[in-house]
Each structure stands twice: as structure tokens, then as C-alpha cells.
């Protein structure tokens, strides 16, 4: 009897509002002190460690170190400024044009790429290799980098007398998707996700007939406009030559209208996410956005395949190491394009890039579809994934 009265007393106490309030208070205090609030970079590191250690096995440790170390830049020469003076300045810094450098036969210095077991994927006398070299020579771009192991930084670019900046600083590997597009002077080109605009500039420097530069974000499109103003002479900033829009790329309506389409999608931007707190896609409030990235990327690539003319080329690119955002997106988009829209496209060979640019970049040897530039302490560019697709006629 006494025991049951004691139980009833305790139950009443627990149910009383005062007791409940105190208890809740104590619980909240406990949550707040026990649940660590991780920053974006910390969450990114957790994600990368658990996913990439599986994807890259024992190579992940070196990759991780490179990603967490200082990134290297390239200086893409503004061909609309005074290229001779600019290249003289860049050479005086002992940097070299990686596009010129790679014309030579593979080097003999003991860089990691040269000392690694070498798979001769596309011998220098093979037809695909020769075609790629010819296309690259015609590309007429110029981008300076410091040699492997040299971690100097370029000074900010200066303006010439007409106010145009001499070079654009970017991850030099992000020129590879542009080069893979092999743009010709008579081409109409679409850059579906264009801001802030480094690749758009490179496309314009290849003298394409017309460039549609689009990005869904209005603020980023404004940044793109400012970039074009700082690098393009006034007479080229016309509607006939370049059109800037802020449309949702997944709903692109101009079907079959472009010779070349670049689909440089939003992604987990691995390097940025591991270092920067600002605009970090790994923070908890952006989990949904991050998880739905592959679906958005697939929709954007499908839009690109719709926009390109039959026989034309699309390049899909990301700055992530993730297979889910790279190969798997390409495979899914090809499957849906064929089954749901009757658009057939195929992956094109880019392996000569590995051989031609091996002195500057560290390529992933085991890439199944497309090419992936891996960060490395002595060549700390990337990650950049790029894959070339040709729509059937």
C-alpha cells in the first residue's frame, strides 16, 4: 500500500507542469552541450572521408592532403588586351604557357606523373592523339602556370590603356572542358551554367560566332556581366556576339540550336567546401539541396542534349570527385535522353588529353567515362571532371 502511494506520488510529480518544464530545460541543456555543431568544412571533410576513401582507396590520403593545401592557379591571357605585353610579363615571372609547353614530347624530369607506371593509352603517333593536338593548336588559347612543385602565386591582373584586364586567374584545369568542346569560329555556343564566367571568356577567345551565356542566379549573372566588361572590348559586347541571360537551364527552350554546349553544373565544389565557410553546401540547412544535386545535374545535362544540334557536341563538367555527380550523371542522362526523348548521344574519346597534358595535370588513371584531374601536392589543380558527348545525327 505504502509502495503504491509512493509510485502515484512520483507519477503526479513527473506530470506536474513545473516538473515537466524543469525536465525539458535540463534536456535542452544536455542536447546543446552534447551535439557538436560542425562547420561546413568539417561536415565536408566527414563526407569526403567516408565516400572518397571507398572510391579512391589508398590514394585518398594524398588526395585529401592536396585538397586541404594551397590550390594552384593559371593565368589565362586576355587575347583582346595586349597579349604580347602580358605574355612577356608572365614569362618574366618564370611561368609557362601550359598549352605551348605540352606541344613538346613528354618530359623526362622525375615528376610523379613521369615516374608513375605509364600506361600508353594513346601513343603520340596515333590518329586520335594527332587530331587532338591539331585541335588544341587551333584553339588559340594561352594559359600560364608555374611549373610542378612551384607554389608561387600570380599577382592580380592589371588593366591596359583601354581598361581591359591582361589575364583571368582560374584553376588551369578548368580550361580542359572548354578545350574538349573544340569550338570553331563559325559555331553557335551555349554555356548553360556560365557564372562567374571564366569558361565563357575562354569560349569567346576562340572567336565563336555567337555565345549564349546563361546562369539561373541573377547576382552571379551580374558578376558574369562585370567579367565580360573587364575583358571584352566594347565592339564585341553586342547582342549578335554574346547574349547573357538568367534563365533556369533545366527549362532551356531553344532545342537543336547550338553547335556546342557546355554544361558546367553546380556541384559539391569539393575544394571550396573543404576550406571555405561561406556559401558551403555541406551545412545542415542545405542537406536537401546537396542530396538533390545529381537530379539537378542530370536535368541540366538533358537540357544540354536537347539544345545541341544533331551531330553537335556537349561537354559535361564538375569540380567534384564524386562518381555520383560525374560518371553516374552522364550514364543516367544518356539513358533518359534515349528512352524518353529519342535523343541518342555517345561518349567521345578524351584519352589523348591525359597524354598531352600529363606534365601539368595529374589525371585519374581509372576513370571509366570522361576524364578526371586529381589534385596533387606538386600539381595542385582540380578536381575537374569533364566528359564529351556527341549527339547522333
Size of the site for ligand SAM (CB under 6 A): 18
* Shortest spacing between CB 196 and ligand SAM, in angstroms: 5
CB of 149 to ligand SAM, least distance (A): 26
Joined grid coordinates for residue 283: 551545412
Q: Which stretch binds ligand SAM (CB under 6 A): 122-130, 216-224, 345-353, 359-367?
A: 216-224
Using CB under 6 A, pick the residue from 199, 271, 358, 391 that binds ligand SAM: 199
* Segment contacting ligand SAM by CB under 6 A, of 51-59, 102-110, 215-223, 336-344: 215-223
For ligand SAM, the binding residue among 248, 276, 289, 335 (CB under 6 A) is: 248
Output the nine-digit C-alpha cell for 88.
Answer: 612577356
The answer to whether residue 343 forms part of the interface with ligand SAM (CB under 6 A) is no
CB of 239 to ligand SAM, least distance (A): 20
DSSP state, residue 151: -
Minimum Å gap between C-beta 249 and ligand SAM is 3
Site for ligand SAM, residues 116 to 175, rule: CB under 6 A: none
Asked if 294 touches ligand SAM (CB under 6 A), the answer is no
Among 76, 141, 181, 195, the residue binding ligand SAM under the rule CB under 6 A is 195
| Nearest residue to the partner ligand SAM, using Cβ | 249
Q: Does position 266 bind ligand SAM by CB under 6 A?
A: yes
Q: Binding of ligand SAM at residue 197 (CB under 6 A)?
A: yes
What's the residue count for the chain? 393
CB of 46 or CB of 245, closer to ligand SAM? 245
Q: How far from chain centre, in Å, is Cα 276?
A: 16
- The CA distance from 318 to 262, in Å, is 11
Q: How far is the CB of 371 from ligand SAM (least distance, A)?
A: 17
Among 220, 237, 241, 286, binds ligand SAM (CB under 6 A): 220
Residue 203 interacts with ligand SAM (CB under 6 A): yes or no: no
- CB-based contact 330:353 (threshold 8 Å): no
Site for ligand SAM contains 69 (CB under 6 A): no
Q: What grid cell was written down for 133?
A: 593536338
222 binds ligand SAM (CB under 6 A): no
Q: Is 21 exposed, middle or buried (0-12, 13-18, 19+ CB in 10 A)?
A: exposed
Exposed e or buried b per residue across 92-120, where buried means at least 16 C-beta atoms within 10 angstroms of its C-beta: eeebbbbbeebeeeeeeeebebeeeeeee
Catalytically annotated residues: 319
276 binds ligand SAM (CB under 6 A): no
Q: Contact at 8 Å (CB) between 159 and 82? A: no
Residue 222 or 378 having the CB closest to ligand SAM: 222
- Our finding on whether 196 is near ligand SAM (CB under 6 A) is yes
Distances (CA, A) of 130 to 104, 111, 134, 142, 207: 13, 24, 6, 20, 23
Helix (H) or strand (E) holding 311: strand 308-318
Nearest CB to ligand SAM, comparing residues 90 and 192: 192
Q: How far is CA 150 from CA 75, 100, 154, 375, 377, in A?
A: 15, 18, 12, 14, 10
The DSSP element (H or E) to which 89 belongs, if any, is: helix 83-92
Q: How far apart are CA 112 and CA 90, in angstroms?
A: 25
Name residue 373's beta-bridge partners: 363, 384
> Which CB, 192 or 379, lies closer to ligand SAM?
192
312 binds ligand SAM (CB under 6 A): no
Angle at 177 between CA 54 and CA 390, to 5 degrees: 95
Among 216, 283, 333, 345, binds ligand SAM (CB under 6 A): 216
| Cα(203)–Cα(217) distance, integer angstroms | 20
Q: How much is the CA Rg of the chain, to the nearest whole Å?
A: 25
Interface of this chain with ligand SAM, residues 21 to 60, rule: CB under 6 A: none
In the complex with ligand SAM, the residue whose CB is nearer, 113 or 314, is: 314
Directed axis angle between helix 198-205 and helix 218-231, to 10°? 40
Q: Out of 126, 207, 250, 348, which residue is the one contacting ligand SAM (CB under 6 A)? A: 250
Binding site for ligand SAM (CB under 6 A): 192-199, 214-217, 220, 248-250, 264, 266
Amino acid at each position: 500500500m505504502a509502495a503504491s502511494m509512493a509510485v502515484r506520488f512520483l507519477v503526479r510529480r513527473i506530470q506536474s507542469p513545473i516538473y515537466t518544464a524543469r525536465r525539458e530545460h535540463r534536456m535542452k541543456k544536455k542536447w546543446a552541450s552534447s551535439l557538436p555543431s560542425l562547420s561546413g568544412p568539417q561536415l565536408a571533410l566527414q563526407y569526403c572521408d567516408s565516400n572518397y576513401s571507398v572510391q579512391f582507396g589508398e590514394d585518398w590520403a594524398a588526395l585529401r592532403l592536396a585538397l586541404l593545401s594551397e590550390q594552384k592557379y593559371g593565368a589565362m591571357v586576355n587575347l583582346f588586351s595586349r597579349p604580347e605585353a602580358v605574355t612577356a610579363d608572365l614569362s618574366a615571372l618564370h611561368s609557362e604557357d601550359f598549352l605551348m609547353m605540352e606541344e613538346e614530347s613528354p618530359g623526362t624530369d622525375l615528376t610523379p606523373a613521369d615516374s608513375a607506371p605509364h600506361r600508353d593509352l594513346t601513343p603520340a603517333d596515333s590518329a586520335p592523339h594527332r587530331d587532338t593536338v591539331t585541335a588544341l593548336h587551333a584553339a588559340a588559347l594561352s594559359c600560364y602556370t608555374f611549373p610542378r612543385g612551384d607554389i608561387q602565386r600570380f599577382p592580380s591582373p592589371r588593366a591596359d590603356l583601354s581598361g581591359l584586364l591582361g589575364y583571368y586567374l582560374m584553376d588551369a584545369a578548368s580550361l580542359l572542358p572548354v578545350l574538349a568542346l573544340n569550338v570553331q569560329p563559325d559555331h553557335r555556343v551555349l554555356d548553360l551554367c556560365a557564372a562567374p564566367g571564366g569558361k565563357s571568356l575562354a569560349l569567346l577567345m576562340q572567336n565563336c560566332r555567337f555565345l549564349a551565356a546563361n546562369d539561373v542566379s541573377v547576382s552571379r549573372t551580374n558578376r558574369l556581366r562585370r567579367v565580360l566588361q573587364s575583358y571584352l572590348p566594347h565592339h564585341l559586347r553586342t547582342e549578335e556576339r554574346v547574349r547573357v541571360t538568367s534563365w533556369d537551364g533545366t527549362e532551356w527552350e531553344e532545342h537543336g540550336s547550338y553547335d556546342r554546349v557546355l554544361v558546367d553544373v553546380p556541384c559539391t565544389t569539393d575544394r571550396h567546401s573543404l576550406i571555405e565557410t561561406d556559401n558551403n553546401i555541406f551545412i545542415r540547412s542545405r542537406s536537401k539541396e546537396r542530396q538533390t544535386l545529381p537530379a539537378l545535374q542530370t536535368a541540366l545535362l538533358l537540357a544540354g542534349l536537347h539544345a545541341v544540334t544533331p551531330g553537335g557536341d556537349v561537354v559535361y563538367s564538375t569540380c567534384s570527385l564524386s562518381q555520383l555527380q560525374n560518371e553516374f550523371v552522364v550514364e543516367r542522362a544518356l539513358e533518359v535522353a534515349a528512352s524518353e526523348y529519342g535523343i541518342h548521344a555517345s561518349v567521345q574519346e578524351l584519352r589523348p588529353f591525359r597524354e598531352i597534358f600529363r606534365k601539368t595535370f595529374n589525371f585519374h588513371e581509372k576513370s571509366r567515362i570522361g576524364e578526371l584531374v586529381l589534385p596533387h601536392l606538386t600539381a595542385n589543380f582540380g578536381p575537374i571532371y569533364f566528359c564529351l558527348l556527341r549527339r547522333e545525327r
